[in-house]
Amino acid sequence: MNKSISKKMSLAIITFIILVVVSSGLLILKIVLWNDYDVTTYYEKDYRKSMETIKKDPNDLQARLSLLEGFYRKNQFEDAEVQIEYIVENADEQFPHLNKVKYYRALLNAKKGDFDKAIEDFSEIVKTDVTNGDAWLSLGHVYYSIGEYERSIEAVSVAEELLKTSAEPIYLKSLILFVNGEFDTSQILLERALSIDPLHLNSQELLSRIVER
């Protein structure tokens, strides 16, 4: 009799735990979906606001920059390039976001494989804004793409100092070492990258390749 009751209580407890876990999972999923929706809605509102502003004032460069960012997020790269050209042609020295516009231009050139132009823009950005870690990192990526590994390491080393909470500079260093056959050192760097960001997929995948070698 007592054993029967004990089994029923155990089953009830297990069932309760399962329900709590499932409910928690659904709650987390709802929160994630809502956050994604909220962010998407914010960007869409910003995009529409920029469009309306430009209709009233075509020379509003700040609105065009917001529109450029919206096009880039939507992968509408040709439309983004139109905004870049307009801003670069019409901006004066008082416009405070010209480096950001050039950064997007460099990203688009890199995507098209026009690495010389990308390097030119990224190099110009880091000369005028030496603390721009994203530009240093992107410059490192471009150098890596054309096999200029020493220059890539130099740029990425600066990015690593500036982007303390990012695993990406360390990953790129480890990738170069991996390509050069320095697997042990590459593994050490990857483990450090994953200590900063355990969910960094590129680091996870490269570490798996090294371990499974």
- pLDDT of 25 above 50: no
CA distance 85 to 78: 11
- pLDDT of 8 above 70: no
Q: What b/e readout covers 93-127, taking b as 16+ CB neighbours within 10 angstroms?
A: eeeeebebbbbbbbbbbbeeeebeebbebbeebbe
- pLDDT of 124 above 80: yes
pLDDT at 19: 40
Please report, for the chain, the start and end positions of each structural domain, with discontinuous segments joined by +.
Answer: 165-213
Average pLDDT, the chain: 84
CA distance 70 to 196: 29
Encoded tokens for 190? 């990857």
Average pLDDT over residues 155-162: 97
Contact predicate 156/137, CB 8 Å: yes
pLDDT band for position 48 (50/70/90)? confident
Closest CA to 135 of 168, 166, 98, 107: 107
- Alpha-carbon distances, residue 115 vs 15, 50, 140 (angstroms): 59, 31, 12
Average pLDDT over residues 66-89: 93
Average pLDDT over residues 192-209: 97
Give the DSSP per-residue string, 11-49. Answer: HHHHHHHHHHHHHHHHHHHHHHHHHHHHHHHHHHHHHHH
Contact predicate 115/146, CB 8 Å: yes
Task: State what percent of residues in the chain have pLDDT above 70.
Answer: 80
